[in-house]
Structure 1
Amino acid sequence: MSSIFAKFSGTASALGGLIESGGRNPFGVVIEKVVSSTVGVIENRETLLFGTNNYLGLSQSQNAVKAAQDAAAKYGVGTTGSRIANGTQSLHRQLEVQIASHFNRRDAMVFSTGYQANLGIISALAGKEDYLLLDADSHASIYDGSRLSTAQVIRFRHNDPDDLHKRLKRLEGTPGAKLVVVEGIYSMTGNIAPVAEFAAVKRETDSYLLVDEAHSFGVIGENGLGVAEAAGVEKDVDFIAGTFSKSLGTVGGYCVSDHPEMDLIRVNCRPYMFTASLPPEVIAATMTALDEMKAHPELRTQLMDNAKRLHGGLHRIGLNASKQVSPVVAVTLETLGQAITMWNRLLEEGVYVNLSLPPATPDNRPLLRCSVMATHTPAQIDKALEVFASVARECSVLS
């Protein structure tokens, strides 16, 4: 009998090589204890956390913790049902009203994860007569949403409005709607999308625009609404999707829109209809974290100051770091061996970052992906830079 696991033989071989090369599984790291938003215990060592996406440090908000405890005591720990069955409690609607109001939008849908927000909205919106135009570097959730849809999928060059315009012009006169999907900040590289230019293409070609602000919500814009707000074109965006698991430090996803048909999406969106809804304690913690984010805009200022400090420091060291300044700072390496060795040595020296490997990386080169927090101190960032420089020289990445 054929083994159902035979298809994973390549993965098994690659993973075995990674473990053999570095002595540990880079995808199995356990944070044994959370000391603070910026420090955790890994392998019995206090370790600086530079790979958690906890941009505002709100996962450790004591107000959010208290709100979660109170909600669990009042409502229980789960809903046991989907949003269209018994899984909508008053807290869920309160959060949707709060998110819609924060974005100045007519309506909001809340999902159980950010992944499901993209999966659900894209697959529900794009039907078999429609076209999905995706940035080539789109997140897996966007590509999976396109697969679940029955639309025709067209990729355009990363962050290239001209290439998008050319591809949309070729579709001129064809039946069906055209939905363009881009991200605000790209999670692997930290690249920031030229959303104003994409919005101009959208207007000219009479298409729809969805922006995934997962890594830019709470980070960029006067009110922390993301790249579309910062670019002054938020009202040109038909749908804004995102997650609570980054800046707000909880879990869940959302989509906001001014289109009055959003309630039709609720009953045509399989990842919304057939998944248990978020538990009350998560909803309460998310609403409290959102209030904190709004009450403390200085967190965004500190976050970007910290991002500039890490970004500039990595460039001064001589490493091939991200071109644009954002809370995601990626160091690109030339070989798999360099990446694995550096990642392991960084962890051993007390700095945790993400190891990103081909084919998940945009140009098939390995990345050491860092994410910065508002709560990192200058001393912690400087310590991480010191370790990066030492390890890079040790691994012959720098002369």
Structure 2
Amino acid sequence: MQTKISTPILSYMKQLESEGITNIEELSDYLYEHYLRQVDLGLYSNGRYTLTGSDSTATVASTLVNSGEECILWCINHYLGLNRNQNVIDKVCLAVREFGTGSGTSAMSGGMSIIHKRVEDKLQHLIGKEGVLLFPTGFTTNLGCLSALPGKHDLIIFDRESHASIIDGVKLSGNKWMTFKHNNVGDLESKLNKYQDKYENIFVVIESAYSMSGDLAPLREIVALKQKYKFFIYVDEAHTFGIYGKNGSGYCSHLGLVDDVDFIAATLSKATSSIGGFVAMKSKYIPLLHWRASTYTFQACLTPGDATAILASLEEIEQNPQLIELLHEKNQYMRRCLTSLGFDLGTSQSPIIPVFIPDVEKLMAFNKELYARGIFSVSIVYPGVKPHEGRIRFILSVAHTKEQIDTTVNALYELGLKYGVIAHAMTA
């Protein structure tokens, strides 16, 4: 089986399956050999890990190399740097001493503590919905809610760039579903118009900001469709909760649309530097999810330390609004630098900045050289994105300094010229 060494593992797997290689033993042998060749050439960025935990910098090592390289880290979603905030860390340590290390069972089986209730109450007050349900992870929030909320005569329509947790939840529901073109309100409306009388309910599922492209949803325009069509709208605020809206209340709040959105979900692993997820909604939907969302009913609660980290992070955001302001200032600064040099950032707006490099060969070599220069992020390739939409994401954090941004931009500029990603040298 011949293939280019730069071909991503998942793409290679699809190629093998298309050629009839589906047996787990044979498939694994081919993939493992391909993986080892990529590791040998330094092209397998997924095999790297930090020796020091995540921050704006970290010591990054490989699965097959004992030593590590000091790098500027650009692939972590801790937008406000609160995972290293001393107040947050101190409160977590106190909570672990008082409440122990784990919850031991699910919320429905007695795993809830006063800390979990405080998190739910804090989120309910912050977002302004009647009720909030706390899940152990952001992934299982979407998986549980979207498999449980739609009835058997309902249709689900979701943005085709939606996260895997949304797609898996929709499929697990067993309902009819379809996608609409990314951020294309016209395509969504055509589907609503066609199917509005054919189903008991329609659920429209979107993200407020998309993790692969960094662009914001046309939320006002989608909500406006509710004046003409009857549907529920479910918004995943994974990449906007904590960094948009007053006190980080989210993008729906930022646009004044909280009352118009039926279900607001988000992860707590990003801006709030912990783990977990939640969905905010009318209180009447909570018992339905208690009993139909398996990822709530049968999954152990957040640890007390994780729940405390969420509370402490939300308090830091409330007491230090300049954190959000500074993040967006740095976002605009880095974007101006990159666009002035001719890099393609697509339609991105959020603190996720994709640098598009459509040629996979160039992308893999580009990323390898970035790592050699002490700049680490991960290549995003097919099937995570379309075959000719490969990119490297740079996820900004308040913890990134101007010097680190400048160092990264300068390295991108030099490599951009070398690989023909940008056309011309910058003139004075």
Per the normalisation by structure 2, the TM-score is 0.88
> 1:118 is matched by which residue type in structure 2?
N
Counterpart-to-counterpart distance in 1, 2:93 and 2:245: 32
Q: Which runs of structure 2 are paired with 1:60-75 in the superposition (5 Å)?
A: 60-75=84-99
Mapping of residues 1-399 of structure 1, within 5 Å: 4-8=24-28, 11-12=31-32, 15-16=35-36, 18-20=38-40, 22-34=41-53, 37-43=55-61, 44-362=68-386, 364-399=388-423
Contact 2:208–2:219 (CA under 8 A) maintained in structure 1: yes
The runs of 5 or more residues in structure 2 that have no matched partner are: 1-21, 62-67, 424-428
How far off is 1:24 after superposition? 4.8
CA distance in 2, matches of 1:10, 1:170: 45
Distance 1:77 1:232 in 2: 39
Unaligned runs of 5+ in 1: none
**RMSD across aligned positions (CA):** 1.8
d(CA) in 2 for partners of 1:62, 1:52 = 19
CA shift in 2, pair 1:161/1:398, >3 Å: closer
Separation in 1, partners of 2:32, 2:179:
30
In structure 1, what is the Cα distance between the partners aligned to 2:32 and 2:170?
A: 28
1:352 Cα deviation from its structure 2 partner: 1.3
SS at match of 1:95: helix
Larger deviation, residues 80-89 vs 130-139: 80-89
* Deviation string, structure 1 residues 126-148 (Cα, Å, up to 9, x no partner): 23211111001111110000111
Q: Offset at 1:394?
A: 3.0
CA contact (8 A) 1:157 1:163 kept: yes
Kept in 1, the 8 Å contact 2:354–2:391? The answer is: yes
User: Could you tell me whether the CA contact under 8 Å between 1:193 and 1:227 is conserved in 2?
Assistant: no
Q: Which amino acid counterpart does residue 51 of structure 2 have in structure 1?
A: E
Q: Which amino acid aligns with 1:25?
A: Y
Contact 2:73–2:377, Cα closer than 8 Å, also in 1: yes
Render the CA deviation track for 1:129-173: whole Å, top value 9, x for unaligned. 111110011111100001110211011111011211110111122
- What is the SS of the residue equivalent to 1:265? helix
Spell out, residue by residue over 1:5-28, the C-alpha distance to the aligned partner (whole angstroms, 9 max, x if none).
4445665465455435x4252112
Matched AA of 1:303: L
Structure 2 Cα separation of the partners of residues 173 and 28 of structure 1: 49
Aligned residues: 396
| Preserved contact between residue 124 and residue 149 of structure 1 (Cα < 8 Å) | yes
Percent identity, please.
Answer: 28
TM-superposed CA distance for 1:181, in Å, is 0.4
Deviates most, 385-394 or 113-122: 385-394
Deviation at 1:29, TM superposition (A): 1.2
* Alpha-carbon offset, residue 116 of structure 1: 0.5
Quick check: 1:339–1:355 contact (8 Å CA) kept in 2?
yes
Name the CA shift for 1:129/1:246 in 2 (closer, same or farther; >3 Å).
Answer: same
SS at match of 1:30: strand
Residues 330 and 369 in structure 1, CA contact (< 8 A), matched pair in contact too: yes
Give the TM-score normalised by the residue count of structure 1. 0.94
Q: Which amino acid aligns with 1:205?
A: Y
